[in-house]
Amino acid sequence: MAGALHSDCADEFDRRLPGPCPLHQKAACYTSPRPVYGFRPRTRSASILHVTRKTMEGSRIRGQEWQPSRPLLCTVRLRPLTTRDWPPQRGHEQSCLIGAVNLKSSNRNPVVQEFESVELSCIITDSHANDLRIEWKKIQDGETAYVFFENKIQGDLAGRAELLGQSSLKIWNVTRRDSALYRCEVVARGDRKEVDEIAVELAVQVKPVTPTCRVPKAVPVGKTATLYCQESEGYPRPHYSWYRNSVPLPTDSRANPRFRNSSFLLNSETGTLVFSAVHKEDSGRYYCIAANDAGTAKCEEQEMEVYDLNIGGIIGGVLVVLVVLLLITLGICCAYRRGYFISSKQEGESYKTPGKLDGVSYIRTDEEREPSRRTEQTLVQKLFVLAKVDRSSFLTP
């Protein structure tokens, strides 16, 4: 019983078979290996088509629908259209191969550590074209750039990558900037399906560097305290753990009976260790470790001291400060009353004449004029002495 027609195969036969054996335009590949009865040829000289569908390995497929992605090996047997030749003798035989390029990868999500080498697998299957065009593209941060184009390595991979085998890509000395989505594209001219592509996502792991840790040096009992640990180079992002005196701390002190006298929470994502109320038992040497799949890094140990808060001492100190302030205030008042802050009497140059009001004639008394006269006499005496000295020095031989 004949199988279903497929026009692609008919077109392929019409194109490839020689002219002396014309085919009906409905001729096509069949899933059944049996001859096609009831075929209507265009002319008396036409032939009956007998098609066998096979896979590339030669095994016969029965009762299955044809998958466009799989190649067909179609063997066409042409025989004269006469009943007396039935069963027909094989006349002209010709085979046609209809391919469809397909790509696969042995690893579509490779993971590699920085400065190592990696292979981006791109394997061509089911194609029988001799003319293959292979391209690799890098997609990163929304931008697309060529990696392999026109049979050579392009861009930042030039000098440290090559095409491996037929279409795979080998990269040496990978860096964190190489983490991206890579797309392999193959064009096989002559195949029924000429274009296919496959994406490979590369993840480059980076070992953490020494994290930055901040630990308070001294904290009073009962107060809150926060310890910080941060690292910015590792990929994927590291997880953090804290140690006290080389003993790992849990994420929650309540979850471990060993730390029942402590009260803290550890955030392994951000690296913060928060004490809601420190106790004497929380004193010790602390350090942090940042870790991811590529490795670990540790910061230096730092001492945190927890001391008791002396309430009596604080109150005594406050009282002493108040007494000192009181004594200083009393001393200032006594000095002011005794006149230590008056530098001179209100006379001479330090004396300022009261301002004259508009429309008022102010007449100074003799007592008010007296300081001014004495000042003038003093100035005249000083000038006379200076003049006498200068004259004597001028007459001296």
pLDDT score recorded for residue 388: 55
Q: Does residue 148 register a pLDDT over 90?
A: yes
The better pLDDT of the pair 276, 100 is held by: 276
Q: Average of pLDDT values for 25-42?
A: 34
| CATH architecture for residues 212-307 | Sandwich (2.60)
Q: Does residue 341 register a pLDDT over 80?
A: no
Sign of CA pseudo-dihedral 337, 342, 348, 349: negative
Is the domain spanning 102-205 CATH 2.60.40.10? The answer is yes
Average pLDDT in the chain: 73
Q: Average of pLDDT values for 67-79?
A: 40
Q: Average of pLDDT values for 113-121?
A: 96
The better pLDDT of the pair 106, 386 is held by: 106
- Is 29 within 8 Å of 11 (Cβ atoms)? no
Least confident of 121-135, 142-156, 159-173, 353-367: 353-367
389: confidence class by pLDDT, cuts 50, 70, 90: very low
- The 3-state DSSP class for residue 254 equals helix
* Phi-psi sector, 295: left (phi>0), alpha (psi -120 to 50), beta: left
128: confidence class by pLDDT, cuts 50, 70, 90: confident
The better pLDDT of the pair 52, 322 is held by: 322
Q: Average of pLDDT values for 258-285?
A: 94
pLDDT score recorded for residue 249: 96
Q: Is 248 exposed, middle or buried (0-12, 13-18, 19+ CB in 10 A)?
A: exposed
Q: Average of pLDDT values for 140-146?
A: 94
pTM of the model: 0.52
Q: Does residue 233 register a pLDDT over 60?
A: yes
Q: Is 216 exposed, middle or buried (0-12, 13-18, 19+ CB in 10 A)?
A: middle
pLDDT score recorded for residue 74: 42
129: confidence class by pLDDT, cuts 50, 70, 90: confident
pLDDT score recorded for residue 329: 86
Q: Does residue 379 register a pLDDT over 60?
A: no
Token output for 200: 């490979």
pLDDT score recorded for residue 377: 59
pLDDT score recorded for residue 130: 76
Least confident of 249-258, 315-324, 363-372, 385-394: 385-394
The better pLDDT of the pair 263, 128 is held by: 263
Which of 265-289 are b and which e, b meaning 16 or more Cβ less than 10 Å from the residue's Cβ?
ebeeeebbbebeebeeebbbebbbb
166-225: pLDDT as tens digits: 899 999 999 999 999 999 999 988 777 889 999 999 999 999 999 999 999 999 999 999
28: confidence class by pLDDT, cuts 50, 70, 90: very low
Residue extents of the structural domains in the chain: 7-98, 102-205, 212-307
Q: Average of pLDDT values for 129-154?
A: 92
Q: Indicate if 212-307 has the same CATH topology as 102-205.
A: yes
pLDDT score recorded for residue 154: 92
Q: First CA to last CA across the chain, in angstroms?
A: 157
Q: Average of pLDDT values for 31-36?
A: 34
pLDDT score recorded for residue 382: 56
pLDDT score recorded for residue 126: 78
